[in-house]
Homo-oligomer: A and B are copies of this chain.
Amino acid sequence: MKSFRDPVHNLIAFTAADGLLVDLINSREVQRLRRIRQLGLSNIAYPGAEHSRFVHSLGVAHLVRRFLDAPTRDYFDAPGANVRDFRHLAMAAGLLHDLGHGPFSHALEAITGVRHEEFTTALIRSPQTEVHQILEARESGLAHRVAQVVERRFEPSRAVVKLLSSQLDMDRTDYLLRDAMMTGAGYGSFDVEWMLHVLRIGEADGDLEVGLDLDRGMSIAEDYIMSRYYMYLHVYFHRTTRAAEMLVEKVLERAREIKAELPGFTALNRLLRGDLRLREDALADYLDLDDSVLWTALHFWSRERDPVLRDLAGRLLHRRVFSGIDVADDAEARAVQERMAERARAEGLPDRYYVILDEAKSSAYTDSYLSGGEKRTPSEKIFLFDRRGAATELSELSFIVQAVRDKHMRARRILCPGEWLDG
């Protein structure tokens, strides 16, 4: 029995029967997630939001366990919903789904051209990693199967796939609750006890889906969608956070441009040289990247000779990120951008680093922010199942979800140094 105290779930416990989980938690690769913040730079706007990807990963494994152990599993699920036959697989996949995250994920993905999910599965499949060795020691081929679950293409149990990647999956459930609590942003919470009580595995469009009980699940579904909507609006899309994220991109871009390599920072230097790719020989270096390495690099760059790199890095360190000017359309964007570019040139500053177009677009319903703008797929639907198992899609029943579905969050701003806006 291994137990953790947790501000969100209070108690996270794994019994001896779930010993595989305990071994995986103790692996280097999972321990590394302690050094990567779940919300990247959001603590700049919400000073409580310092929680790590490690504690989120524990939370996901815990919710998978609760789902599997719920008494409702015995009563309401569709005949083929064999989730309990894949207990270890489902819990391991829950724990490991974010393994490949690096620090400041979006900036990093932009510079490497590799999505963190690809690193996740590469790490699980690589014989070098402790997680791989632990999984294979348990059962030959298990590492591959876990990777398939993460890739959403594990055919023996579609329900396990959906439990970890669908609208109502345990990943989103944990991060919404956790991010809402840690930011202190009141709106984001929802009643997870009731949600777990009314989750059902049913069949829809010829596939198994994690959905909700038709009679009791509609309000919680709406509440969940609304929570997500508010978290996007107030947290994930927060203007100061986005300004910081774009500044990180610019810092890395400049460092690459002027080849600002730092002695000893092997992984980071490979990153700047474009050599930190999805290859077996790069994985060990990739694992060395974490928030502290990046922040230390910012310290160092804030003392660089290059005035641009020095200034941009210092702004991040001391929380003097760019301010934004909201613009209504492309024409206004161009006009403001041009005006600010002139100002940059007048100050002798390169406008590509000092005048930035921030164009955030998303929908809280289809979740393209996290899934990289992929088109809405069947798994982006939320199904409600009646007693006989017949499925209806939520947005057909709920006028609130209809309203949210059709609402696209969109921010368009020109970012530049705040001191330019007062003059």
Residues of A within 8 A of B (CB): 1, 3-8, 10-11, 13, 15-16, 26, 28, 31, 34-35, 37, 43, 46-48, 50-52, 54-55, 58, 69, 71-72, 74-75, 181-187, 190-191, 193-194, 197, 219-220, 222-223, 226, 230, 233-234, 262-264, 288, 290-296, 299-300, 317-319, 399-400, 402-404, 406-407
Shortest C-beta distance, A390 to chain B (Å), equals: 18
CB-based contact B43/A47 at 8 Å: no
CB-based contact B10/A191 at 8 Å: yes
CB-based contact A7/B182 at 8 Å: yes
Q: Is the interface of A mostly helix, strand, loop or mixed?
A: helix
Q: Which residues of the partner chain B approach A28 to less than 8 Å between Cβ atoms? A: 318
Copies of this protein in the assembly total 4
Give 4 closest A-B pairs by Cβ, nearest first.
Answer: A186-B191, A5-B184, A292-B292, A292-B295
Distance A107 CA – B414 CA, assembled complex (angstroms)? 45
CB-based contact A4/B47 at 8 Å: yes
A-B contact pairs, 27 of them (CB 8 A): A1-B72, A1-B75, A4-B184, A5-B183, A7-B181, A7-B183, A7-B184, A8-B48, A10-B184, A10-B193, A28-B318, A31-B319, A34-B319, A35-B295, A47-B52, A47-B54, A50-B51, A69-B71, A187-B219, A187-B223, A219-B234, A226-B400, A262-B264, A263-B263, A293-B295, A399-B403, A399-B407
CB-based contact B26/A34 at 8 Å: no
| A187 partner, pick from B31, B191, B197, beta carbons under 8 A | B191
Shortest C-beta distance, A177 to chain B (Å), equals: 12
| A402 partner, pick from B3, B220, B403, beta carbons under 8 A | B403
Distance A51 CA – B55 CA, assembled complex (angstroms)? 13
Q: Which residues of the partner chain B approach A16 to less than 8 Å between Cβ atoms? A: 75
Distance A233 CA – B216 CA, assembled complex (angstroms)? 12
| A197 partner, pick from B11, B54, B72, B219, beta carbons under 8 A | B11
Q: Which residues of the partner chain B approach A191 to less than 8 Å between Cβ atoms? A: 10, 186-187
